[in-house]
Amino acid sequence: MKKVLKTSLLASSCIFTVAVQAHVGVASGPHFANKTSIIELSIPHGCTDKVSGSEDTVRIVAKVPSSITSVHAIDAVFGQATAVFVDGEHSYNEITWVKTPGTERDSDTQYYKVAFRGKLPDATFSTVFIPTTQYCINDIEQEISVSWDVESSGHDHHGGGEGNPAPSLMVMPARTPGWNQYTTGADQHLHDMSIFNDAEIVWWDDAAFSSNVVTQELIEAEGKAALSEIHDNASFWVKY
């Protein structure tokens, strides 16, 4: 059994960057523009290195961009949380969750969730990235880490490119039951229809999308095209 790790050890040990098996992501939603929301991050795996295999996560650090305001950290089953505002060219709130002493595990066996509260920007269909780093301690008492910080400049809400994608969320417009009309802004090209998975149907021009297989089959049986993307400056309809 690993000995209980002290805060001083975490601060003084050498840090090695490693890889994990599945990415850290946003496990909550939808999140609406200009509304306060609880944003939950999922930590599905620990850190893996060549020394001792897959290790339990002992600390999680998330950089919440300043576009999310009124940020408050939330303690988790994982451990207590603290938040510090970091000012600069790209200011952000840094939230750190430290695993409760004495609850460290011998290996990566747990799925963790941590959360914070904040107000989303008034910018519908924009993507907010939350760079996150998880830290572990290996069998020779070295601190190892993996950073999820690659942000995408693409048109969907997933991190892209090489490396580890940062957790991200799409800021959704307000909705009411029934039909809602939305308009994408300039340079907003929606490629990922999964952001409408909780809708009954999405309709733009002569194409439609539904995450319900039967509904989608009916759409196509009526001779309508399957909707796979929505261009910028487009007015479209969504039924919830």
What's residue 152's pLDDT?
67
Digit-coded pLDDT (tens) for 120-149: 999 999 999 999 999 999 888 889 999 999
What's residue 162's pLDDT?
60
Digit-coded pLDDT (tens) for 192-226: 999 999 999 999 999 999 999 999 999 999 999 99
pLDDT, average across residues 229-238: 97
Give whole-number Cα distances, 210 to 22, 29, 136, 198, 227, in Å: 28, 18, 41, 9, 9
**Phi and psi dihedrals of 201, rounded to 5?**
-160, 145
What's residue 4's pLDDT?
39
pLDDT, average across residues 166-187: 96
**Element (DSSP H or E) covering residue 8:** helix 7-12
Intervals of CATH 2.60.40.2230 along the chain: 7-172
**Phi and psi dihedrals of 142, rounded to 5?**
-100, 140
% the chain with pLDDT above 90: 73
pLDDT, average across residues 183-198: 94
What CATH fold (topology level) applies to the domain 7-172?
A: Immunoglobulin-like (2.60.40)
pLDDT, average across residues 70-92: 96
131: how many CB neighbours lie within 10 A of its CB?
A: 22
pLDDT, average across residues 63-71: 98
* pLDDT for residue 9 is more than 70: no
Q: What is d(CA 64, CA 40) in angstroms, rounded to the nearest whole number?
A: 12
86: how many CB neighbours lie within 10 A of its CB?
A: 12
